[in-house]
Structure 1
Amino acid sequence: MGAITSSMAAKFAFFPPNPPSYEVAVEAATGKLKMTEVAEKENVDVLKVKTKRGNEIVAVYVKNPAAKLTLLYSHGNAADLGQMYDLFNELSIHLRVNLMGYDYSGYGQSTGKPNEQNTYADIEAAIKCLQETYGVKEEDIILYGQSVGSGPTLDLASRLSRLRAVVLHSPIMSGLRVMYPVKHTYWFDIFKNIDKIPLVQCPVLVIHGTADDVVDCSHGKQLWDLCKEKYEPLWVKGGNHCDLELYPEYIRHLKKFITAIEKSGHARNGSIPSLDSIDSGRSSIDCQPRQSTDQREKSRSSTDHREKPKLSTDRRDKSRASTDKRERSKKSVDYTEKANNITEQPEKARNSIDRFGDMMRSAVLCNIDCFKPAATKI
């Protein structure tokens, strides 16, 4: 019974694109790996990395000569590297970071099957590749976890003492809590982020949409409450689960965080430069958990740093992705910092957040039903 329940829980979390959006080929002239179905770039390396569980995962490493820090990006449920490729390149440019993204076992052209333990081995292999192949130090790495990617991100972050920072993008408290109003952690649950986040020693930025109808915004709020070293969170008003990159405030706030982390050096106990008031962050949160009929967990008491749920007659709020929201993402935002002469990136349009939003509008990053449970009940 327990094994069946655990297996069911795992099935709720993993939806690799089928067929994969890309293939991996070998260049005849150089012998180097390349991804098909995406634009080839001189500043992007394609790699295959062995994990300790015997799988071989595909990773991409985007180089930025102006970078001081490196982002290790763990993507969401129903995406693979082919779909994330343009975003990775844009983030590298706008944030002035090197960036490694990887496909979990069973995703894209990575071998093996997707499951929780494999994702932990996958991210360990990715960070080991950064350190051994590219000479990146742990203290210069920022882990970025989107949706289900918050699972391997927090598992690794909870075990590293010198990590520079963590970004959680539409994160989950745990796999089971996305769908069921459980108040306690069960042994068969997966990605027990709510139990691991207090162990993270570095600064944490949480980004979540207030209209997220896949992973309720209360997940991000409660994880932020439990952070040891909080950074001003970003609650994207009207943002859903798959569209936060469309909002100008997303890239602005993320860049502000990266800049603050760069200035912070390797200090761990001091305040972070450019950090806005944490109290202000607490009071301005427009993020309420939904009723239990929406399969969301009721919040715990305030003494346990949980937020009380707001009852709603709707089973699931529809995304407030209105025309006004789309128009906001089209507005040009002044982006004065240039891309520092990065090879293959000469266009001035790439320096604007408006350009970033326009590119992301056409990207398919995840399936809106990526957490829909199977018909069988726990």
Structure 2
Amino acid sequence: MTTNVSIRLEEVEELVRRKLDEMKTTKCSPISVMVEGVQEFFASKLDVMKARIKSSPGDVQLEEVDALVSCTMAEMESRLRAVEREMWTMVCGVEEEERESERSTVTERGDDGGATCCLGSMKPPSIILRNMILPKDLWPAFPRGLNLSVSDYFLYQPGFPTRANIRTILKPSAYDLQYEEVWLTTKDHVDIYAFLIKTKLGNTHSCPTLIFFHGNAGSIGDRLENVKILLDDLSLNIFLVEYRGYGPSKGVPSERGLYRDAKAAFRYVTTRSDLDARKIFVFGRSLGGAVAIHLASRKATRGRLAGVIVENSFTSVPSIAKKVIDFPGIRYLPRWFYNNKFDNKVKVGAIVAPALFISSENDEIVPAGMMHKLYALTGSDKKSFAKIDAGHNDAFEADAYTRLLHDFIQSALSVTSTPDDVCAPVKTAPPPDGKISRLDSEEDMWEDILVSETTTKLLLTS
């Protein structure tokens, strides 16, 4: 029992410290000061528990160790409310008394006596932007604020190129491909659609499986030409995932939503008995690269991937927006203005699986420097960078493309398999540290705080 408690305490310490360090990277001084305070709070609680384990090992239970996460989260939420009050006055110029009277939601005590924390009192970015730009006498003319949410408008384009019905998509049968139609239910109860297109060799278990995350425009039906080329030249199973709000999938696209779609896809392919769970690769092009990077960087999944392929992706949405949107004021928009950030440059450092970065030399959207930066920041010990003579969306048509993927996949499989059993059935590989993470629920809780709209409104960095 003592060993289990010690291991659990190490896991909790690693999780909390990593998440707090992520928040501390912001240039926003109040947030940095708040995180430092939470770090001191957590360190003091941690020291007390370590001393108890040392003096009386049998007295500390696993439940007490787990409670450290909840306790630290509660402390952070309390401090965030204080930061919110400070920044409200600083950004909006509203006095505390006026702010209190305008709050749409307040912190109350629940029926069970527990504190119900709510950070929803922060006004939407569109309202804050209006207050910062327009004189107060013009505010009534813009009751919903200056709605310039560029990330939603430009990021998610399921109907491009224009169709009469975006819910109707091309099927693999149009390319003589054998496939299964799959419906998945995500953690937040959204039904998403997918195609499982199996290798032409027949023995699906002996071949690797590629989870394919497409770009921001169109549907999985628009990627079937790409898939056919891959299946003609490579021995692969391909799982084409349709994001929420795209094609037949339900829901509305969002950054957190796409991440949950990816988790649902990974969970599905790893539980199928006819697919080898040790030979799962993720592929992402453009926006899909951000989804692939997120999945490959999560503690619960990063050690269970055979490899990651990122093609023509970006460092973050705020960064790429300044490059592709023809609006003079875009460079002055604060970071909280973007509902979706997809901060790839922060996450790639956590990737441990073999990684391939493919950059088109004639990419008209993503600057080559962004792909070089992602490659340089990637934490994997086995990574490679390749240039393709193509544009943003047609790299798969280049002569060297399938050979590039073939060589990478074979090389990546050789890392986790001996040459004689590359195609043999194997069990799911554990994470690199040899331990299956028991902190999935805590990871999700922290992710909700770090990615949530309310918190990102507080990160006033450019």
Give TM-score scaled by structure 2 length.
Answer: 0.51
- Choose from 249, 252, 258 the match for 2:409: 258
Tell me the SS of whatever aligns to 1:145: strand
Equivalent pair of 2:283/2:289 in contact (CA under 8 Å): yes
Unaligned 5+ residue runs, structure 1? Answer: 25-34, 268-377
Tell me the SS of whatever aligns to 1:166: strand
CA gap of 1:257–1:37, structure 2 versus 1, over 3 A, is closer
Instruction: State the distance in 2 between where 1:83 and 1:147 align.
Output: 15
Tell me the SS of whatever aligns to 2:304: coil
Instruction: State the distance in 2 between where 1:116 and 1:78 align.
Output: 15
Amino acid at match of 1:260: S
Tell me the SS of whatever aligns to 1:143: strand
Tell me the SS of whatever aligns to 2:194: strand
Amino acid at match of 1:251: T
Residue 212 of structure 1 deviates from its aligned partner by: 1.0
Tell me the SS of whatever aligns to 2:155: coil
- Choose from 218, 223, 226 the match for 1:87: 226
Query: Which residue matches 1:154?
Result: 293
1:233 aligns with 2:385: yes
CA gap of 1:157–1:266, structure 2 versus 1, over 3 A, is farther
- Choose from 141, 165, 173 the match for 2:307: 165
Equivalent pair of 2:175/2:225 in contact (CA under 8 Å): no
CA gap of 1:105–1:253, structure 2 versus 1, over 3 A, is same
Amino acid at match of 2:321: M
Instruction: State the distance in 2 between where 1:21 and 1:86 align.
Output: 18
Equivalent pair of 2:172/2:179 in contact (CA under 8 Å): no
Query: Which residue matches 2:271?
Result: 132
Q: Percent identity of the aligned residues?
A: 24
Amino acid at match of 1:167: I
1:199 aligns with 2:350: yes
Return the structure number with greater relative CO, CA threshold 8 A, min gap 6. 1
Residue 157 of structure 1 deviates from its aligned partner by: 0.6
Equivalent pair of 2:293/2:347 in contact (CA under 8 Å): yes
Tell me the SS of whatever aligns to 1:12: helix
- Choose from 125, 132, 144 the match for 1:3: 125
Instruction: State the distance in 2 between where 1:37 and 1:197 align.
Output: 32
Give TM-score scaled by structure 1 length.
Answer: 0.62
CA gap of 1:139–1:3, structure 2 versus 1, over 3 A, is farther
- Choose from 353, 359, 365 the match for 1:214: 365
Equivalent pair of 1:22/1:82 in contact (CA under 8 Å): no
Residue 119 of structure 1 deviates from its aligned partner by: 0.5
Residue correspondence of structure 1 range 356-375 to structure 2 within 5 A: none
Instruction: State the distance in 1 between where 2:277 and 2:366 align.
Output: 30
Query: For 1:273-307, what per-residue CA distance to the aligned partner results, in whole angstroms no more than 9, with x for missing partners?
Result: xxxxxxxxxxxxxxxxxxxxxxxxxxxxxxxxxxx
1:101 aligns with 2:244: no
Aligned residues: 257
Query: For 1:103-161, what per-residue CA distance to the aligned partner results, in whole angstroms no more than 9, with x for missing partners?
Result: 10011111111111111111111111112244545431101011000121111110122
CA gap of 1:164–1:36, structure 2 versus 1, over 3 A, is closer
Instruction: State the distance in 2 between where 1:192 and 1:174 align.
Output: 4
Residue 22 of structure 1 deviates from its aligned partner by: 6.4
Query: Which residue matches 1:23?
Result: 168
Residue 260 of structure 1 deviates from its aligned partner by: 1.3
Amino acid at match of 1:3: P
Residue 180 of structure 1 deviates from its aligned partner by: 1.8
Amino acid at match of 1:99: I
Instruction: State the distance in 2 between where 1:15 and 1:134 align.
Output: 35
Farther off after superposition, 144-153 or 14-23 = 14-23
Equivalent pair of 2:208/2:276 in contact (CA under 8 Å): no
Farther off after superposition, 5-14 or 164-173 = 5-14
Which structure shows the higher helix fraction?
2
Residue 68 of structure 1 deviates from its aligned partner by: 2.3
Query: Which residue matches 2:132?
Result: none
CA gap of 1:244–1:200, structure 2 versus 1, over 3 A, is same
Query: Which residue matches 1:375?
Result: none
**CA RMSD of superposed structures (Å):** 2.9
Query: Which residue matches 1:316?
Result: none
Instruction: State the distance in 2 between where 1:138 and 1:36 align.
Output: 26
Equivalent pair of 2:315/2:374 in contact (CA under 8 Å): yes
Tell me the SS of whatever aligns to 2:157: coil
Query: For 1:24-46, what per-residue CA distance to the aligned partner results, in whole angstroms no more than 9, with x for missing partners?
Result: 7xxxxxxxxxx658527573111
Equivalent pair of 1:208/1:220 in contact (CA under 8 Å): yes
Query: Which residue matches 1:63?
Result: 198
Amino acid at match of 1:56: D
Instruction: State the distance in 2 between where 1:266 and 1:11 align.
Output: 44
CA gap of 1:6–1:101, structure 2 versus 1, over 3 A, is farther
Unaligned 5+ residue runs, structure 2? Answer: 1-122, 127-146, 324-330, 419-461
CA gap of 1:21–1:82, structure 2 versus 1, over 3 A, is farther
Residue 209 of structure 1 deviates from its aligned partner by: 0.8
Residue 242 of structure 1 deviates from its aligned partner by: 1.2
Query: For 1:321-356, what per-residue CA distance to the aligned partner results, in whole angstroms no more than 9, with x for missing partners?
Result: xxxxxxxxxxxxxxxxxxxxxxxxxxxxxxxxxxxx
Residue correspondence of structure 1 range 181-200 to structure 2 within 5 A: 186=335, 188=338, 190-200=341-351
Larger Rg: 2
